[in-house]
Amino acid sequence: RSNVRWYFAIGFFFIGVIAYMDRSNISYIAVPMMKDLGLTKTQFGLLASFFSLGYALMQVPSGMLAEKFGPRKMITVALVWWSAFTILTGMIKHHGLLYFIRFLFGVGEAPMYPSNAVFNSFWFAKNEKGRASSALLAGSYFGPVLAPIITIAIVNAFNWQAVFYIFGVVGILMAVLWAIIAKDLPEQHKMVNDAEKRFITQNRDIVATEKS
């Protein structure tokens, strides 16, 4: 029996890593960023609030969208969206617009967990979903461990803006890879053999329908 579903679980681990590096890297470049943009400590602290606001507001809608359009599309759009606003963060010259960009960055990261939940309901047996979900969760804890190491190395080699450019490009490349190899359903994936398809379809919670 093939085990393609577990390769996607590993993929979600790396999505979690990049997502949490993207949201935490700003903390490690606070000093040069505040200096260049003329931000006070209070103003810089508000950036996290605007991210959290966008992230919270989109949780329920993004879950509904993942159910409607499928997790493949939602993860692809989310990766491109938040990576684009990661890149834009490095291009900002005035802090006023930065609040809006961090809000939209939060909107982009919001579909990650709801889309993962929908994907897992299609791809994993009932007794596997806990393990499958833990892959994304593990990535979310591993990302902040790597973030300071990579962020500081980039700043030392280039500047603080390069942190956002490099992380953003990595996210977009990940989105392209995901769009190419992922499918909403195991029944749609050529690398999933008949034995794995039978195992999943006989043991998952839902009766899946084709996504557009």
Q: What is the pLDDT of residues 146-189, one digit of tens each?
A: 999 999 999 999 999 999 999 999 999 999 999 999 999 999 99
Distance of CA 80 to the CA centre of its chain: 9
pLDDT, tens digit (0-9, with 9 covering 90-100), for 21-66: 999 999 999 999 999 999 999 999 999 999 999 999 999 999 999 9
Task: Give how far the C-alpha of residue 160 lies from the chain's centroid of Cα atoms, to the nearest Å.
Answer: 22
**DSSP output for 17-56:** HHHHHHHHGGGGGHHHHHHHHT--HHHHHHHHHHHHHHHH
| Assigned fold of 4-203 | Growth Hormone; Chain: A; (1.20.1250)
Give the residue, 111 or 94, on which the prediction is more confident.
111
Residue 210 vs residue 105, higher pLDDT: 105
Residue 138, both tokens: 């593990």
Residue 212 has a pLDDT of 44
Q: What is the pLDDT of residue 93?
A: 86
Report the alpha-carbon angle 48-49-53, nearest 5. 120
Residue 206, pLDDT score:
73
pLDDT at 173: 98
| 3-class secondary structure, 193 | coil
pLDDT for 111 beyond 50: yes
How far from 115 is each of 9, 53, 64, 179, CA to CA, in Å? 13, 19, 9, 14
* Domain ranges, ordered by start, for the chain: 4-203
How many other β-carbons are positioned within 10 Å of the β-carbon of residue 138? 15
